[in-house]
Copies of this chain bind each other. A is one copy, B any other.
Amino acid sequence: MRQPKQQRAVETREGILHAAAELFDEMGYAGAGINRILERAGATAGSLYFHFDSKEGLARAVMNRQSERILPLLESQGLQRLVDITLLWSRQLQTDVVLRAGVRLTTEAGILGMGEAATPYAAWVQVMEDCLLAAGDRGELQAGVETAPLAEHLVATCTGMQLLSEAAGNDRADLPQRTQRMWQLLLPGIAVPATVVRLDLDPRRAEALEQSEPVSG
């Protein structure tokens, strides 16, 4: 039976995006040429330019995919949700090439001054601030905690942790422990005591979350 046209278009788009992510992850933005991406994807230039207007557009699609690899797996709320986002991110960076490529491209965009550099950071900052606002509504934050600067701080810390973890040359195997430590250090200054003791920071949470089905809605 032939697939419906729309289904095939989605698969072609995903195939190109995945091939591009593999090459961005391996060799960075500059190193991943269009021809190599087409070869890896087994796609034509026509189909690539039908779905993405340029290599930069393709890179932006990979970068914007980051939070979509994480958020649909989570059911927790407030600060625990924020903890879970970072634990899952720190684990999936080791296994999910699209996420890894997005992080590498975001870092390169920052230091190379690529257009729209701030956007992928801004998207993460927004995701984290939403969790912090919810945490505030739930009474989990100490009085006076400003959510926007704290969200910026968390994104900066996660960015730096994954860079140091990668530079250490162990394929980021220690990133979940670094993430757990970040929360151990930060929580006394931001969360109310009852929340500090209740939150589960164990990196093994991410393993269970990874195997869960996406939550609908």
Q: Which A positions have Cβ atoms within 8 angstroms of B?
A: 28, 30, 104, 107-112, 117-118, 121, 149-150, 152-153, 155-161, 163-164, 166-169, 178, 181-182, 184-190
Contact = CB atoms under 8 A, between A and B. Distances in A.
Contacts of A117: 167, 169
Contacts of A150: 185
How many copies of this chain does one complex carry? Answer: 2
B178 A184 contact: no
A118 to B, nearest CB: 5
Contacts of A149: 181
Given A28-B112, A159-B159, 19 more contacts: A30-B30, A107-B163, A110-B164, A117-B167, A152-B164, A153-B161, A153-B178, A153-B181, A153-B185, A156-B161, A156-B164, A156-B178, A159-B160, A159-B163, A160-B161, A184-B189, A185-B190, A187-B189, A188-B189
A78 B107 CA distance: 32
Contacts of A153: 157, 161, 178, 181-182, 185
A40 to B, nearest CB: 20
A158 B153 CA distance: 10
A181 B152 CA distance: 10
Contacts of A157: 153, 156-157, 160-161
A111 B28 contact: yes
13 contacts: A110-B163, A118-B168, A121-B164, A153-B178, A153-B185, A155-B160, A157-B161, A159-B160, A159-B164, A160-B163, A163-B163, A184-B189, A188-B188
Contacts of A186: 185-186, 189
